[in-house]
Amino acid sequence: MARVAFIGLGRMGHGMAGRYLDAGFTLSIWNRSKAKAEDLIARGARWSTSPEDAAIDADAVVTMVADDEASRAVWLGANGAAATMKAGTLAIECSTVSYDHALHLSRELQSRSLIYLDCPVTGLPEAAAQGKLNLLVGANAADLEMARPLLDPLATTVRHFGEVGAGTVYKLINNLMGAIQIAGLAEGLAMAERAGLDMKLVLEAVELGVTASPQVLRHARRMVAHDFAGATFTAALRHKDAAYAVALAEWLLHEAPLMGRAAVASYDRAKAVAPDDDEARMIELVSRPA
Ligand code: NAP
């Protein structure tokens, strides 16, 4: 069975790493803070002192960290994984990063004869722990075929969008559309509250109405209840994704898209107030004075 090094054991990465243990892989792990690794170590994963240490003798290195800065650090920084990866090793970046970073990272890793796939995901932490993610892949087709046995434990769907970078392009589009929907829902529900409407009736109408996308269904009930316990996706991460997406849009469309800019501004505010809270708290932020 292949040897996997998994780096980044946050809400998503912890469950994904566990899937490799479930599937019988030999697993080495690293996270910036070790506490999140303890149960995986108890299940047989090898704790590593750095990404570089984790990558020794790995057939594939898989990363799931917050953003560009974290991704740069774990692949290319001091003690980064690239330092010890052998030529021909698979480098699978699952974090949501900017398009520019995905291209830069791929060039750096390919110049060291490593095989790079950008592989951002959709699905919540629960899906990550159950191996039910959707993978959005940008890679050479032959490289993807080589990587498939390493991707299978993580996912129910693998969508191949094109060459390296294409998975990230779609992921950023997906998350920008999601950010716009969530911010729109928060504004609509805040207006309904302020107008004194019966929120039980509003919720019923929203859930059965034409705007009830999966994203709206995911958030409407929690927003109406003002129940934000157990964040699955934080305001800071949503802001990061929207900002990366708008940068991509500026390049593709030659200007910042109106809705995208509004979403970034909304999450900028949410991030300033409660960066680590669930993104659904947006409803409380739009209804308070600026
Ligand atoms: P999270 O719980 O906040 O975990 C972030 C991870 O990144 C942690 O392992 C953290 O280490 C690490 N990290 C942050 N800064 C670092 C740095 N400078 N150097 C090294 N490691 C660093 O976030 P998450 O929800 O798992 O999200 C991880 C990625 O998946 C993000 O790119 C996110 O956009 C994407 N994503 C999330 C979801 C979701 O529903 N949550 C869904 C799809 C995609 P510590 O543990 O030490 O802080």
Q: Identify the sign of the CA torsion 129, 145, 97, 91.
A: positive
The atom of ligand 1 lying closest to the CA of 233 is 41
Determine if ligand 1 sits within 6 Å of the CB of residue 179.
no
| Bridge partners for 138 per DSSP | 118, 162
Angle between helix 166-194 and 99-110 (nearest 10) = 160
Q: What is the pLDDT of residue 290?
A: 58
Determine if ligand 1 sits within 6 Å of the CB of residue 65.
yes
Determine if ligand 1 sits within 6 Å of the CB of residue 286.
no
Measure CA 157 to chain center.
16
Determine if ligand 1 sits within 6 Å of the CB of residue 70.
yes
pTM score, two decimals?
Answer: 0.96
Q: Does CATH number 3.50.50.60 belong to domain 3-163?
A: no
Question: What is the whole-number distance in angstroms between the Cα of residue 63 and the centre of ligand 1?
Answer: 10
Q: Is the distance from CB of 199 to CB of 224 less than 8 angstroms?
A: yes
Nearest alpha-carbon partner for 128 in 152, 155, 94, 165:
155
Q: Looking at the predicted structure, is the pLDDT value of residue 79 above 70? A: yes
Mutation probe of ligand 1 site: the residue of 7, 32, 72 with most atoms within 8 A of C-beta: 32
Q: Does CATH number 2.60.120.10 belong to domain 169-286?
A: no
CA–CA separation, 239 and 275 (whole Å):
9
**Residue-averaged pLDDT of the chain:** 95
Residue 273 phi/psi, 5° resolution? -85, -45
**Considering the chain, what percentage of its residues have pLDDT values greater than 90?**
88
The atom of ligand 1 lying closest to the CA of 65 is 7
Please give the residue that has the higher pLDDT: either 231 or 82: 82
DSSP tally for the chain: helices H, then strands E = 13, 9
Please give the residue that has the higher pLDDT: either 272 or 16: 16
CATH 1.10.1040.10-classified regions of the chain: 169-286
2-56: pLDDT as tens digits:
999 999 999 999 999 999 999 999 999 999 999 999 999 999 999 999 999 999 9
Q: Looking at the predicted structure, is the pLDDT value of residue 122 above 70? A: yes
The atom of ligand 1 lying closest to the CA of 32 is 47
Q: What is the pLDDT of residue 289?
A: 61
Q: What is the pLDDT of residue 255?
A: 81
Q: What is the pLDDT of residue 287?
A: 73
> Which residue's CA is minimally distant from atom 4 of ligand 1?
10
153-174: pLDDT as tens digits:
999 999 999 999 999 999 999 9
CATH 3.40.50.720-classified regions of the chain: 3-163
Mean per-residue pLDDT, 271-288: 86
Mean per-residue pLDDT, 115-142: 98
**Lowest mean pLDDT across 143-147, 215-219, 252-256:** 252-256
168-215: pLDDT as tens digits:
999 999 999 999 999 999 999 999 999 999 999 999 999 999 999 999
Q: What is the pLDDT of residue 135?
A: 98
Determine if ligand 1 sits within 6 Å of the CB of residue 66.
yes
| Bridge partners for 118 per DSSP | 93, 138
**3-class DSSP state of 253:** helix
Q: What is the pLDDT of residue 8?
A: 98
Question: What is the whole-number distance in angstroms between the Cα of residue 64 and the centre of ligand 1?
Answer: 6
Determine if ligand 1 sits within 6 Å of the CB of residue 98.
no
Determine if ligand 1 sits within 6 Å of the CB of residue 73.
yes
Question: What is the whole-number distance in angstroms between the Cα of residue 106 and the centre of ligand 1?
Answer: 20
